[in-house]
């Protein structure tokens, strides 16, 4: 077709990635597993499992069940704690690919402490702030669902961090105010969106299907919501780098996310099903760029526009 598309390397909020395809948090293992499964140099980056100040044993099994075109999961954010993570997982992950370290806390102080441990640490390309967990201080179920609290948490992490900070927004029917709050608080980029809260029921046993009872929804089922969130936020904040997460399985999905306004995508569930999916997707993006005679992935970003934020009466629209 054309020789123009040489590389699909992207720079997002100052982080250089070999491709715009990252593997999502919770789907990258501990650093040892991926190398036997996928050509890591063709993966844009790895988002670590979410780490907390203290080690967490995580939730009771079962931790994953299927739903229509999705999975409902809860690991209870099992992780060895930030110190052990830095010592035993980060080096292997960082040797493979740029690492976005995902961090979570139940209090402002916990976010601050983790960021302190990561500050200036070799191998941390960026921080992704997980904001879907409970707020133990304000006793709210989702710490990042309120613009005020989001500003506090993201602001504190962004002020301390020496690397770019991505806020992984919890989603919802109107994600723009949260995106604006995160941007004002100093986020360098946004991941849109976290898995929404979900529940699977085992009706034969008359109990929740997961050991943790509650879970989160991931997988292809989410794509239309992801695209909408990306498009809305891109319209509101056209210069903010956006990473689409939720339902990206194929190169076509990734291209759609980029057309909606994402500079990069994360692939979670699809990586679990097919560890080579991130590489296949990256190759497919190259093919799509060639088809469009586009020089770089950036040319796709935001090429599809949606209407105005507050929809007008349909008579005007028609």
Partner 1 sequence: MKRVRAEILSTRRLGSYQSLTLVAPEIAERAKPGQFVAVAMPDDRDFLLRRHLTIHQSSRRGGWAGTLEFVVDPGAGPGTAWLSDMRAHGFLDVIGPLGTPFSYPKRLTNCLLIGEGRSVAGLYFLAQELVARGKRVDMVIGGSTLDAVFKPIEAKRLSQLVTVVTDDGTLGETGTVIEAIEPALERAPIEVVYAAGKVPLLSAVAEICRSRKLPAQVAVEERMGCGYGLCGTCAVPVASKDGTTWGHVRACVDGPVFNPARVVWDRWRAAGAASPVGEDAQ
Residues at the site binding ligand FMN, with contacts judged by CB under 6 A: 24-27, 49-50, 64, 71, 73, 75, 77, 102, 130, 168, 194-195, 218-219, 222, 245-248, 267-270
CA 68 – CA 87 distance, rounded (Å): 39
Residue from 40, 65, 92, 298 binding partner 1 (CB under 8 A): 65
Q: Return the one option of ligand FMN, partner 1, its own copies, none that residue 203 interacts with (CB less than 5 to 8 A, by type).
A: its own copies
Nearest to 243 by CA among 195, 169, 192, 286: 192
Residue from 142, 158, 167, 181 binding its own copies (CB under 8 A): 142
Residue 316 lies near its own copies (rule: CB under 8 A) = no
SS3 184: helix
Q: Return the one option of its own copies, partner 1, ligand FMN, none that residue 46 interacts with (CB less than 5 to 8 A, by type).
A: none
Given a contact cutoff of 8 angstroms between Cβ atoms, the answer to whether 263 and 15 are in contact is: no
CA 155 – CA 171 distance, rounded (Å): 19
CA dihedral over 251, 257, 258, 262, signed as positive or negative: negative
Q: What is the DSSP string of 226-293?
A: HHHHHHHHHHHSTTS-EEEESS--SHHHHHHHHHHT-SEEEESHHHHH-TTHHHHHHHHHHHHHHHTT
Residue 49 lies near partner 1 (rule: CB under 8 A) = yes
Stretch touching partner 1 by CB under 8 A, among 83-91, 157-165, 231-239, 266-274: 266-274
- Phi first, then psi, for residue 168 (nearest 5°) are -95, 100
Q: Return the one option of its own copies, partner 1, ligand FMN, none that residue 317 interacts with (CB less than 5 to 8 A, by type).
A: its own copies
Residue 310 lies near partner 1 (rule: CB under 8 A) = no
Residue 217 lies near its own copies (rule: CB under 8 A) = yes
CA 201 – CA 193 distance, rounded (Å): 24
Q: Return the one option of partner 1, ligand FMN, its own copies, none that residue 225 interacts with (CB less than 5 to 8 A, by type).
A: its own copies
DSSP 90: H
Q: Which residues form the interface with partner 1 (CB under 8 A)?
A: 26-30, 32-34, 36-37, 49, 57-66, 68-71, 73, 75, 78, 202, 204-205, 207, 211, 219-220, 269, 271-276, 318
């Amino acid at each position: 077709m054309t020789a123009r598309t040489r590389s699909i390397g992207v720079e997002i909020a100052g982080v250089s990635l070999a491709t715009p395809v990252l593997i999502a948090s919770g789907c990258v293992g501990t650093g040892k597993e991926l190398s036997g499964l996928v050509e890591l140099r063709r993966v844009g980056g790895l988002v670590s499992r979410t780490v907390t100040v203290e080690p967490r044993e995580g939730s009771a099994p079962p931790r994953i069940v299927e739903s229509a075109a999705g999975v409902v999961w809860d690991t209870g954010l099992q992780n060895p704690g930030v110190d052990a993570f830095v010592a035993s997982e980060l080096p292997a992950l960082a040797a493979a690919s740029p690492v976005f370290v995902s961090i979570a806390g139940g209090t402002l102080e916990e976010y601050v402490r983790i960021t302190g441990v990561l500050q200036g640490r070799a191998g941390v390309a960026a921080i992704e702030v997980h904001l879907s967990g409970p707020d133990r201080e304000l006793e709210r179920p989702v710490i990042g669902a309120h613009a005020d609290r989001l500003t506090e948490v993201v602001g504190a992490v962004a002020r301390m961090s020496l690397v770019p900070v991505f806020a992984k927004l919890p989603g919802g029917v109107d994600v723009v105010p949260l995106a604006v709050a995160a941007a004002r608080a100093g986020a360098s980029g946004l991941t849109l969106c976290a898995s929404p809260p979900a529940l699977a029921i085992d009706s034969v046993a008359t109990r929740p299907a997961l050991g943790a009872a509650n879970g989160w929804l991931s997988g292809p089922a989410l794509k239309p919501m992801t695209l909408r969130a990306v498009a809305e936020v891109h319209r509101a904040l056209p210069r903010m780098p956006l990473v689409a997460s939720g339902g990206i399985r194929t190169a076509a999905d990734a291209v759609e996310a980029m057309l909606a306004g994402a500079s990069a995508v994360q692939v979670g569930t699809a990586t679990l099903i097919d560890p080579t999916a991130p590489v296949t997707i990256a190759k497919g993006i190259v093919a799509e760029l060639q088809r469009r005679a586009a020089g770089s992935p950036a040319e796709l970003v935001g090429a599809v526009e949606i209407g105005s934020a507050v929809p007008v009466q349909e008579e005007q629209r028609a």
